[in-house]
């Protein structure tokens, strides 16, 4: 949510509290062990994700948001089955607007392809997006209100977004909250930062088997982690090690089986038949590298506002 604009040397789109933007983020990790319920089988999940954002300034009040995100998860979807790689690639296209000193908005479309990338067809394409309205309470605090929605293999999923961004006056304590999707609380100690974060995600992937009907994986994952971060090159390059717990449940269903509506953690009209045993969560280790662009270092005379 906070990776919105780049090249804003003269552009007042960032919050007064938030004096940077994360341009590039790359992460790699894996769980140690995930057991299939009711069996003696287990698997582990290897995951790779990367995100990039590139803005284009339109005028003093608006900017076009462009970019892309990519993820790859590798695991066994059934006990004793071969490992399968699930991919998701989405484009980001949106508009960030400033309406006044207090109010601003962001609307982003997120079309994507999500499957095992075998025999890609129109069924692997999905649409989604989010809209945020932001209120600048003071120079250290900004509130967010919005909604996220995505068309998935199981139907429509949507969730409200309520959150805030806070940076303490001494710039050591930071909170970046977009609930129920993400949360990050950290404290800076010179060249190192300690923190805890949370990320909740719901995705689906079409899975193609040779000479067999197409299935889809319904992923629901809640990740809780603590991290230690090294701030290199004047805090422009952040190297982060995370240790935490992830639910990582990949439920398999036949293509065409849908629920009526998914809203946050709730499902309505779900009479689907799950084809694989549920997967228990597990401890995970992850390493991340982030390129962070600092606004005030290049334009100290500007008060950034998102």
107-132 mean pLDDT: 93
Q: Is 122 helix (H, G, I), strand (E, B) or coil?
A: helix
Spatial distance between the Cα atoms of 229 and 160, rounded to a whole number of angstroms: 30
Q: Say if residue 180 is preceded by a cis peptide, omega within 30 of 0.
A: yes
Under 8 Å between Cβ of 226 and 243: yes
Mean predicted confidence (pLDDT) in 223-247: 94
Give the mean pLDDT of 98-126: 93
Task: Give the pLDDT score at 10.
Answer: 30
When mean pLDDT is compared across 67-81, 169-183, 190-204, 260-274, the lowest value belongs to 260-274
Portion of the chain with pLDDT greater than 70, in percent: 87
Q: Which residue has the higher pLDDT, 201 or 137?
A: 137
What's 278's DSSP letter?
P
Q: Is the pLDDT of residue 13 over 80?
A: no
Residues 72-85 pLDDT 10s: 999 999 998 999 99
Q: Rounded to an integer, what distance in angstroms lies between the CA atom of residue 154 and that of residue 180?
A: 20
Residue 1's pLDDT is 32
pLDDT of residue 305: 37
Please give the model's pTM, rounded to 2 decimal places: 0.85
Closest CA to 164 of 150, 185, 187: 185
Q: What is the pLDDT of residue 303?
A: 35
Over residues 208-230, the pLDDT tens digits come to 988 888 899 999 888 999 999 99
For strands 46-57 and 103-109, give the pairing: unpaired
Contacts (Cβ under 8 Å, ≥6 apart) of 170: none
Q: What are the boundaries of each domain within the chain? A: 20-294
Q: What is the CATH number of domain 20-294?
A: 2.40.128
3-class secondary-structure state, position 291: strand
pLDDT of residue 94: 94
Report pLDDT for 225. Answer: 97
Which residues, including other chains, have CB under 8 Å from residue 254's CB and lie 6 or more apart? 213, 215, 273, 275
* Predicted local confidence at residue 2, as pLDDT: 32
Which of 4 and 58 is assigned the larger pLDDT? 58
Q: How confident is the model at residue 294 (pLDDT cuts 50, 70, 90)?
A: confident
123 DSSP assignment:
G
Predicted local confidence at residue 60, as pLDDT? 83
Q: Residue range 109-131: average pLDDT? A: 93
pLDDT of residue 295: 64
pLDDT in tens, 31-69: 998 999 989 999 999 999 999 988 788 888 888 999 999
DSSP 280: P
* pLDDT tens readout for residues 123-166: 899 999 999 999 999 989 999 999 999 999 998 888 999 999 99
- C-alpha 229: how far from its chain's center? 19
pLDDT averaged over every residue in the chain:
86
């Amino acid at each position: 949510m906070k990776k919105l604009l780049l090249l804003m040397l003269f552009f007042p789109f960032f919050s007064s509290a938030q004096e940077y933007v994360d341009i590039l983020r790359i992460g790699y990790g894996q769980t140690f062990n995930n057991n299939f319920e009711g069996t003696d089988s287990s698997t582990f999940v290897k995951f790779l994700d990367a995100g990039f954002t590139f803005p284009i300034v339109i005028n003093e009040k608006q900017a076009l948001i462009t970019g892309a995100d990519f993820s790859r998860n590798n695991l066994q979807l059934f006990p004793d089955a071969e490992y399968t790689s699930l991919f998701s690639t989405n484009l980001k296209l949106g508009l960030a607007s400033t309406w006044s000193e207090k109010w601003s908005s962001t609307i982003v479309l997120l079309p994507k392809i999500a499957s095992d990338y075998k025999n890609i067809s129109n069924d692997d394409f999905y649409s989604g997006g989010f809209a945020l309205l932001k209120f600048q309470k003071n120079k250290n605090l900004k509130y967010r209100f919005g909604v996220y929605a995505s068309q998935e293999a199981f139907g429509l999923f949507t969730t409200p977004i309520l959150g805030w961004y806070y940076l303490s006056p001494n710039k050591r304590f930071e909170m970046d909250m977009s609930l129920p999707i993400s949360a990050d609380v950290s404290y800076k100690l010179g060249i190192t930062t300690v923190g805890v974060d949370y990320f909740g995600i719901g995705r689906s992937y079409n899975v193609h088997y040779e000479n067999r009907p197409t299935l889809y994986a319904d992923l629901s994952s809640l990740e809780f982690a603590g991290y230690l971060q090294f701030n290199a090159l004047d805090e422009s390059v952040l190297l982060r090690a995370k240790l935490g717990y992830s639910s990582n449940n990949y439920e398999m269903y036949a293509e065409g089986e849908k629920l009526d509506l998914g809203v946050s953690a709730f499902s309505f009209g779900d009479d689907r038949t799950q084809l694989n045993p549920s997967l228990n969560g597990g401890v995970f280790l992850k390493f991340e590298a982030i390129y962070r662009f600092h606004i005030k270092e290049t334009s100290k005379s500007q008060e950034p506002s998102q």
